[in-house]
Homo-oligomer: A and B are copies of this chain.
């Protein structure tokens, strides 16, 4: 069992998957991980569509520049924008629901890492086409796609710079150029 900090560091954006399929119970557990993230004003305005049909994944991939490799499953994080507006007005609909999706996504990525799955969070996809493929009504908007599969290749971590990106009390002269 890994310490959480090790999982935070071990999670990679994986873009090459092998052909092993993913147990449905694991996919549901990933959604469960997602809904433990906080939501603005406890709005919980999300829906999650789990796609495992390989033909459908291919179709979604065809219009999603952000999807790499051949994932064995997708979790599409959606927001009910009507409900989000009801809960939090324009800010709820336009900002909080987006942030909520991202925070849920991070939980899903971390749990996927724990399950030895590779994952990648994808924003670059064709929303209108995806809405049709997933049968989403007008008020439900797909915000993010998480691709999933057992990794064929685990890439190295991009370099993270800690120096010069945090400051105590006040911002200091920008060191990044």
In angstroms, Cα B165 to Cα A80, docked, is 11
Copies of this chain assembled into the complex = 2
**Interfacial residues of chain A within 19-39, with CB under 8 A of chain B in the complex:** 24, 28-29, 31-33, 35-38
Q: Residue among A99, A123, A158 with the most chain B CB within 10 A? A: A99
> Which residue of chain B is the closest to A162 with respect to CB atoms?
B32
Residue from the list B123, B160, B161, B166 in contact with A95, Cβ < 8 A: B123
Which residues in B have their C-beta under 8 angstroms from that of A11?
36, 38
A137 touches B99 (CB 8 A): no
CA distance A49 to B4 in the complex (A): 23
Rounded to whole Å, the gap between the CB of A83 and the closest CB of chain B is 7
What does the 1/0 interface line of A149-170 toward B look like (CB < 8 Å)?
A: 0000000001011100111111
Residue of B8, B53, B121, B136 touching A111 (CB-CB under 8 A)? B8
A44 at the binding interface (Cβ < 8 Å): yes
Closest to A110 in B: B4
Complex-state Cα separation, A165 to B106, whole angstroms: 18
Collect the chain B residues with CB atoms within 8 Å of residue A38's CB: 11, 13, 109, 121
Residue from the list B28, B101, B137 in contact with A171, Cβ < 8 A: B137
**11 pairs across A/B with beta carbons < 8 Å?**
A1-B1, A5-B29, A8-B36, A28-B162, A48-B167, A49-B169, A50-B169, A80-B174, A98-B98, A100-B102, A103-B103
